[in-house]
Structure 1
């Protein structure tokens, strides 16, 4: 019936079976006769005939299938389903596997009403029945790969379930969705098999992505989201059978990954009918919070490795949703039952998010486990606490910043360091004096300068204050010359778990030409009030104050406004229009009257009105009696030159409250003395070189028709139009020489391009084989082999008539292959080939069929999850924020200076003088006398301590995260 082709490599793929057309027709007659005539005593032979016929029918033949063969094949398959024999149905489902519907036969869709209920019934059965294996994975795979059919085909001809009449009926898109999704939910709702349940979750995620991208707002999606959210609780509510080699936490982690994938579609939920008043947002966010709360470890025994994976996956899923959900919804008050006083309690989504993150942090804070996460320095409890801390900091830093444009997304932190914008004469002097010495000496002198000081705050933040010349004095000065910018700028550089941030602070002085109104008696400055105001507030039909648009950059004053104008109201409108972040409430502007409190009585209201009236009358009387006002100019004064190069920074530090005695235990100095500068500078540069987001490098390979070896595949400099369109939606094309983000090892050469993508937490550089260039063919092949051969995840776009084999481009890596096969009907078939060590991932699964609109996003998300799944198996893997935490802790441990309060103030006041004094050697005799006197004091009275040398209490790390414990309240420090 078949022969193995081994003679001609160019004719066929290695080791493939070739079914000739004549053999196919004869085999079909023999097998169909056996199926229809074999008696019950030859049941095994009948099942074998079904299995062999299905294998021949779905095989990828080199020749097209004849119409006669296809008619008999589909007829026998339909008769097998209608027979009701479970063994026959099991054989058909397991033999057809995932290859039945992607063959694009003209009449394969006719059997949809027969396949879907059979797969649904198989999904509801246990894993084993009468010692027979149930093909649950194949059944759920067949159902999940049909979710894109309704939107793509719109309508299909299907057979009726009548055995006597094989008439076809036309089923529209809505009916197809209802049939497929109903059976998929029923098949997976009570499924306890891990692998089949994960495939169902992938199918639901693809369906939701399909509906949202096609803007099918009329289709219900709440039941499917509810099912995914319920799977977050699957580890505690259901007993999930775990196969050998799988982690028991994989079910919840997999569901959390699907929820996190759907976060990027959160803006598309706004217009959906099921999201009335943000109900879908509430369902997902509260589901993640509830799952997090149920997985909080109560003791060290519960702090298993799997529990750590669950908590971290849920935290990042929640973080992604909070970053994508509209801010207006996060600030809405929602009723959350009753509190301890039996009163209705209402909170916002952002409040509940911070609350659960703090609760998880506090719960693990008390667990002093010693079990470390593989080779990482962090214990399990420290890993969870650090994840919570990162989520809190990231929300505070980055919320409402995304989505950004293509150029803005590549760099979410700053590249500015302490040496930027340094005075040019100083730099020239440094270069001249240190020309033949250490090339880092210039940076060392900058850190050792008198206008810079480095602090440690809360043992979590490295903060540098640098005072630099202001090059924008003329730009920042107003046209009316009322305010003049100072000649220096206070630059604040902050380093933490999330990255590096820069904050430039400008100080303004009142110009000598500024006109003021003073009274003859040298009273303080007064503003002349207009006569009795006749301004009337305009209101719309809804009772909302009309907000005037101020196109001018000048604020409203008495000089540029007409008489009898309410300048205060105009000014409030001006502030609301130009600085909306200053508005106290999102539902009204600054000039709108606040609603009357419900608790105020009529008596109090009348008293307030009377008081306001009296105040207005007094002001009018005073204004009318003050007729002798004179306008004077401030005398021109020549400000003396200032030699203090740290004054503005010192003023800014003081205004921030960092110099207050109450905050002394939370702030320290870094040791920036000359002998310590070199090591500190190296570690700061090492910290700045670390990535601030999760990074992945993924290969993209194009395989043309008939290409079967590496040289021919890597010789492609471009692909087909569908492939090029796929690349444009996979990411952004960037020029590497101008790219500021993650490059994935690619050299920043001019006129070289690649595909890059980034969001809030992830950066991806795609090593596209058709875009990697070289000086000649040999150099191009070498570069492509070097970059693509080191990638653990590879995306293969193949237009070959055979299946892609991983031995075609054999590499030491390539643990996950995502193979894309374009189909003649406009859909795309996905094949996932992964090593046994890699855990399951989604949203794409082996055998999935998707359309062109959602293909790039699904492939990108699957590649990211595949890379994460591969990294979880590595012993030395460390998250990006954990690596930053390790470096920051190392800098603080090595370079933090423990000083008294007096020394701290002195060094903050004059940085260079303090650094110079620290390097001055002190006489040994003075040190000995001081030691002798201190020993004498201690000997006389051992209970007396010198206040300035008292032992400092530990620094409070994130005080708002520290568990409340009245018994362990810190003792006040009387002096530092």
Structure 2
């Protein structure tokens, strides 16, 4: 029936099937005759004829299909659907598979009204009927791949059956969309098969992405979002059939991945008609919170590895949505039922988010987990607690801070360490001589110095306080010389699960040229506070409230402001613009009057009025008793030079409250003595070298027309214009020598470029084959093979007329291939080729058809999820924050110093003196006398406890998350 290996083209692979045009016409006549004439006794032969005809029709022929063949083929397919015979419909759906609509035949869209109802009916059936397998996966795939057709084609000619007469009608975009999505939802609602349900979720996610990117604000999307959110709790509501090798948790994890993918489109929800007052945001966030609450393990028996996967997937989906939803919607008060006093309780989305994270942490805190498989491996309950802790810290640190600048997304943490911005080498040498340091040991100089001290706070944070010279004294000093910046700066460096952060603190003194004015208030000052800010506020796309530029660069004072000006109001505006981190609320400035509490009682109101009246009376009495106006200048005294190189840091530490006795149980010193600093420095450098975000390496390969071997494919230095346009939207082109983010193993050579993408939680470096260069052809082939051969996920852009075969570029890795086939009608067909060990992922699926606008984002999201799915199968894989947790715990365990409160204060007061004293050897006689005296004291009275040596309470880890042992109910968070 076909000829093997006979072709007129020399570059075709051996063994290809080639259908000749004459054979196709003859086979068509034979098969169509058999279908129409075979009696009922030859039913199997009739079904075989349908199957063979469909296989010939959808095959990728080397020659174009004749019009006569298409006419008869489509007629037989339509007659098969209209016959109502389920077996024939099953054969047509399973044989056409995913290849029917991407052939771009002129009349293939005519059968849309026949395919979609048939696929819908198949999707609503059980997996097996009368011991026959139902092609549910093929049916849902056919429906899901049609979701991009309405927006791309705008209108299509379709067949309608009116009184047994076929007629071609023009169906517009809205009608096409309604027909396809109605059947897709119906087919998915009662589907209990895991694989087909996951394909339906992918189709819905692609449809939502399509509608949002095309700005179809009139199209309803709430029902589809509601369906995806309901799938988050599918395991608790429905019984999903699970095939061999699959887990029941895969359905919930897959739905959580789709919800997390849609988080990047949260800003596009603002203008949609279904998102009135943030209803779509509330639907998704509350759905994730509800699913998390239903999956909280009640006891250790309910805690299984699959539950951990579900909880962590839901936490990261919730975290992504909170990061992308505008802040104004997160702070909206919403009615959430009634509280214990039967009063309506209103909370915000951010409050509910922190509440569920704390509840999950507390629920797993008291579980006695199973034994560890390895010493460094986290138990299941520890893994959940660490995920909750990371989510809380990340929200507190990074919300509304990404990106740090408009064009810089490669860094979310600082590169500053303790050795930056120190004095010049000549001054450092003087410091070394003063402190008797070895000049060759620069790292030891940094740690073993009098201007630095390292602390451990809550057994979770490594905090360094460094006092460095202030190089911006002249810049920070005002023109009027009223405030003078100090010559040193207190630098605070914090290391935690999320990364490393730097905080520079400047201190200002009053200049000796400034004067104090004491005057009698002969006339009361009229204060007219504005009822509304004089500065407009605009909302950025990331939900951060910003002020228009303040016209004055100097702080407002009585000298530079006109009479009868509210200087306090001007000063608050100045602070809001120049120091926006001091603003308490993102929706209003510091000078705006706070809203009046809605539930203020009459008693409180009278008390406030009385307090204001008494204050006014006191001010009037002071005015009447003041003497005449006098001016007094501050004495121009010469301040003595200061030799304490840690004074500003010590003052800052004290102002933070870290030196208080009540906080003693939460703070400790790190051992920075000379014999210990080498190992401490090595471990700190190791911690700083770890990634602070999830990282992925993904290969991108271009296959030109007729290229079928690795040398010809890797010889490409550029691709077609559609391929180059795809790369520009896949990520950002960066120069590797200047790139500060994740490089994926690429060497930072000058004039070498690659494609990079990053968001708050993920970094991706694409190994683009057409951009990897070398000194010659052999070197270029070697580099491309080394980088691309080690990537587990490969994106293949092929313009070859044959299907891409994974043996073309055989590698030891390459577990997932995402193959992109451009179609003549402007759409793109996706083929997913994965190993059996890799679990399912989305949003793209095998056979998906998408348009150019959403292709790069969908391919990037699919590659990320494919890499995550592959890593879940690895035995020793741990998340990036878990690795940071392990290193931080190791540093704390090895280098934390257990001291009394008196020793702690002394070493914090003078860091170098404490380090020097610890290294000073003690005479043997003194040691013997100390041992004898201590033994005598213990012998005399063993019950005596010396105050300076009293035992400390154990350090509390994340105290606000510690559960209440006296009550099973979560303890409320109170301000201390």
Report TM bin, short chain.
over 0.9
Equivalent pair of 2:516/2:632 in contact (CA under 8 Å): yes
Equivalent pair of 2:789/2:811 in contact (CA under 8 Å): yes
Between 1:405-414 and 1:424-433, the stretch displaced more is 424-433
Equivalent pair of 2:537/2:548 in contact (CA under 8 Å): no
Cα distance change, pair 535–147 in 1 and its aligned pair in 2 (3 A): closer
Between 1:882-891 and 1:933-942, the stretch displaced more is 933-942
Residue 455 of structure 1 aligns to a residue whose secondary structure is: strand
Residue 255 of structure 1 aligns to a residue whose secondary structure is: helix
Equivalent pair of 2:7/2:18 in contact (CA under 8 Å): no
Residue 160 of structure 1 aligns to a residue whose secondary structure is: strand
Verify: 1:603 aligned to 2:606, yes or no.
no
For 2:853 and 2:904, locate their aligned partners in 1 and report how far apart those are by CA, in whole Å: 61
| 1:244-267: CA deviation from partner (whole Å, max 9, x where unpaired) | 111221000000000000000000
Match runs of 1:887-906 below 5 Å: 887-906=887-906
Equivalent pair of 1:901/1:975 in contact (CA under 8 Å): no
Cα distance change, pair 374–893 in 1 and its aligned pair in 2 (3 A): closer
Equivalent pair of 2:719/2:770 in contact (CA under 8 Å): yes
* TM-aligned CA deviation for residue 577 of structure 1: 5.0
Between 1:769-778 and 1:10-19, the stretch displaced more is 10-19
For 2:652 and 2:229, locate their aligned partners in 1 and report how far apart those are by CA, in whole Å: 48
* TM-aligned CA deviation for residue 640 of structure 1: 1.1
For 1:130 and 1:533, locate their aligned partners in 2 and report how far apart those are by CA, in whole Å: 74
* TM-aligned CA deviation for residue 37 of structure 1: 0.4
Aligned to 2:750: 750
* TM-aligned CA deviation for residue 586 of structure 1: 5.0
* TM-aligned CA deviation for residue 368 of structure 1: 1.5
* TM-aligned CA deviation for residue 522 of structure 1: 19
Cα distance change, pair 117–970 in 1 and its aligned pair in 2 (3 A): closer
For 2:805 and 2:605, locate their aligned partners in 1 and report how far apart those are by CA, in whole Å: 82
| 1:721-757: CA deviation from partner (whole Å, max 9, x where unpaired) | 0000000000000000000000000000000000000
For 2:717 and 2:206, locate their aligned partners in 1 and report how far apart those are by CA, in whole Å: 32
Note the residue ranges of structure 2 that are not aligned, 5 or more in a row. none
Equivalent pair of 1:483/1:509 in contact (CA under 8 Å): yes
Cα distance change, pair 505–541 in 1 and its aligned pair in 2 (3 A): closer
| 1:56-75: CA deviation from partner (whole Å, max 9, x where unpaired) | 00000000000000010000
Equivalent pair of 2:537/2:545 in contact (CA under 8 Å): yes
Residue 414 of structure 1 aligns to a residue whose secondary structure is: coil
Aligned to 2:860: 860
Cα distance change, pair 399–606 in 1 and its aligned pair in 2 (3 A): closer
Residue 701 of structure 1 aligns to a residue whose secondary structure is: strand
* TM-aligned CA deviation for residue 444 of structure 1: 1.2
* TM-aligned CA deviation for residue 425 of structure 1: 3.3
Cα distance change, pair 719–667 in 1 and its aligned pair in 2 (3 A): same
Between 1:851-860 and 1:948-957, the stretch displaced more is 948-957
For 1:751 and 1:317, locate their aligned partners in 2 and report how far apart those are by CA, in whole Å: 38
* TM-aligned CA deviation for residue 163 of structure 1: 7.2
Equivalent pair of 1:700/1:767 in contact (CA under 8 Å): yes
For 1:622 and 1:87, locate their aligned partners in 2 and report how far apart those are by CA, in whole Å: 100
Aligned to 1:375: 375
Cα distance change, pair 967–319 in 1 and its aligned pair in 2 (3 A): closer
| 1:535-564: CA deviation from partner (whole Å, max 9, x where unpaired) | 999999999999997411233333333333
Residue 122 of structure 2 aligns to a residue whose secondary structure is: helix
Aligned to 2:519: 519
| 1:54-103: CA deviation from partner (whole Å, max 9, x where unpaired) | 00000000000000000100000000000000000000000000000000
Cα distance change, pair 81–427 in 1 and its aligned pair in 2 (3 A): farther
Equivalent pair of 2:522/2:623 in contact (CA under 8 Å): no
Match runs of 1:329-408 below 5 Å: 329-372=329-372, 377-403=377-403, 407-408=407-408
Residue 12 of structure 2 aligns to a residue whose secondary structure is: coil
* TM-aligned CA deviation for residue 608 of structure 1: 5.5
Cα distance change, pair 45–445 in 1 and its aligned pair in 2 (3 A): same
Equivalent pair of 2:584/2:590 in contact (CA under 8 Å): yes
Cα distance change, pair 540–600 in 1 and its aligned pair in 2 (3 A): farther
Cα distance change, pair 469–834 in 1 and its aligned pair in 2 (3 A): same
Equivalent pair of 1:113/1:161 in contact (CA under 8 Å): no
For 2:118 and 2:475, locate their aligned partners in 1 and report how far apart those are by CA, in whole Å: 74
Equivalent pair of 1:104/1:824 in contact (CA under 8 Å): yes
Equivalent pair of 2:331/2:349 in contact (CA under 8 Å): yes
Cα distance change, pair 124–476 in 1 and its aligned pair in 2 (3 A): same
Cα distance change, pair 140–971 in 1 and its aligned pair in 2 (3 A): closer
Cα distance change, pair 375–262 in 1 and its aligned pair in 2 (3 A): farther
* TM-aligned CA deviation for residue 941 of structure 1: 3.2
For 1:612 and 1:539, locate their aligned partners in 2 and report how far apart those are by CA, in whole Å: 36
For 1:90 and 1:662, locate their aligned partners in 2 and report how far apart those are by CA, in whole Å: 74
Aligned to 2:122: 122
Equivalent pair of 1:406/1:732 in contact (CA under 8 Å): no
Residue 409 of structure 1 aligns to a residue whose secondary structure is: coil
For 1:908 and 1:177, locate their aligned partners in 2 and report how far apart those are by CA, in whole Å: 69
Equivalent pair of 2:493/2:503 in contact (CA under 8 Å): yes
Match runs of 1:29-40 below 5 Å: 29-40=29-40
Equivalent pair of 1:697/1:766 in contact (CA under 8 Å): yes
Between 1:433-442 and 1:168-177, the stretch displaced more is 433-442
Cα distance change, pair 615–940 in 1 and its aligned pair in 2 (3 A): closer
Cα distance change, pair 138–440 in 1 and its aligned pair in 2 (3 A): farther
TM-score, with normalisation over the residues of structure 2? 0.94
| 1:203-244: CA deviation from partner (whole Å, max 9, x where unpaired) | 000000000000000000000000000000011111111111
Alignment length, in residue pairs?
976
| 1:366-423: CA deviation from partner (whole Å, max 9, x where unpaired) | 1111244788511111011000000000000000112555742101101111111111
* TM-aligned CA deviation for residue 46 of structure 1: 0.2
* TM-aligned CA deviation for residue 17 of structure 1: 1.2
Equivalent pair of 2:822/2:829 in contact (CA under 8 Å): yes
* TM-aligned CA deviation for residue 951 of structure 1: 3.0
For 1:529 and 1:113, locate their aligned partners in 2 and report how far apart those are by CA, in whole Å: 68
Equivalent pair of 1:518/1:526 in contact (CA under 8 Å): no
For 2:141 and 2:538, locate their aligned partners in 1 and report how far apart those are by CA, in whole Å: 63
Cα distance change, pair 553–710 in 1 and its aligned pair in 2 (3 A): same
Equivalent pair of 1:793/1:816 in contact (CA under 8 Å): yes
For 2:560 and 2:56, locate their aligned partners in 1 and report how far apart those are by CA, in whole Å: 88
For 1:350 and 1:888, locate their aligned partners in 2 and report how far apart those are by CA, in whole Å: 28
Cα distance change, pair 673–235 in 1 and its aligned pair in 2 (3 A): same
| 1:331-390: CA deviation from partner (whole Å, max 9, x where unpaired) | 111100011111111111111111111111111111111244788511111011000000
Equivalent pair of 2:156/2:171 in contact (CA under 8 Å): yes
Equivalent pair of 1:830/1:845 in contact (CA under 8 Å): yes
Residue 337 of structure 2 aligns to a residue whose secondary structure is: strand
For 2:513 and 2:365, locate their aligned partners in 1 and report how far apart those are by CA, in whole Å: 59
* TM-aligned CA deviation for residue 16 of structure 1: 2.4
Cα distance change, pair 663–438 in 1 and its aligned pair in 2 (3 A): same
Equivalent pair of 1:427/1:442 in contact (CA under 8 Å): no
Residue 766 of structure 2 aligns to a residue whose secondary structure is: strand
Between 1:6-15 and 1:711-720, the stretch displaced more is 6-15
Equivalent pair of 1:518/1:524 in contact (CA under 8 Å): no
Aligned to 2:962: 962
Equivalent pair of 1:5/1:14 in contact (CA under 8 Å): yes
* TM-aligned CA deviation for residue 429 of structure 1: 2.9
Aligned to 1:308: 308
Equivalent pair of 1:535/1:566 in contact (CA under 8 Å): no
Equivalent pair of 1:371/1:380 in contact (CA under 8 Å): no
For 1:833 and 1:146, locate their aligned partners in 2 and report how far apart those are by CA, in whole Å: 21
For 2:481 and 2:527, locate their aligned partners in 1 and report how far apart those are by CA, in whole Å: 19
Equivalent pair of 1:459/1:666 in contact (CA under 8 Å): yes
Equivalent pair of 1:532/1:564 in contact (CA under 8 Å): no
| 1:97-136: CA deviation from partner (whole Å, max 9, x where unpaired) | 0000000000000000000000000000000000000000
Cα distance change, pair 50–641 in 1 and its aligned pair in 2 (3 A): same
* TM-aligned CA deviation for residue 629 of structure 1: 1.6
For 2:544 and 2:424, locate their aligned partners in 1 and report how far apart those are by CA, in whole Å: 55
Equivalent pair of 1:145/1:849 in contact (CA under 8 Å): yes
Cα distance change, pair 975–250 in 1 and its aligned pair in 2 (3 A): closer
Equivalent pair of 1:232/1:291 in contact (CA under 8 Å): yes
For 1:540 and 1:886, locate their aligned partners in 2 and report how far apart those are by CA, in whole Å: 38
Cα distance change, pair 714–657 in 1 and its aligned pair in 2 (3 A): same
Equivalent pair of 1:535/1:565 in contact (CA under 8 Å): no
For 1:267 and 1:147, locate their aligned partners in 2 and report how far apart those are by CA, in whole Å: 22
Equivalent pair of 1:486/1:508 in contact (CA under 8 Å): yes
Cα distance change, pair 705–319 in 1 and its aligned pair in 2 (3 A): same
- Please tell me the root mean square deviation across aligned C-alpha atoms, in Å: 4.5
TM-score, with normalisation over the residues of structure 1? 0.94
Cα distance change, pair 696–970 in 1 and its aligned pair in 2 (3 A): closer
Between 1:65-74 and 1:944-953, the stretch displaced more is 944-953
Residue 406 of structure 1 aligns to a residue whose secondary structure is: coil
* TM-aligned CA deviation for residue 950 of structure 1: 2.9
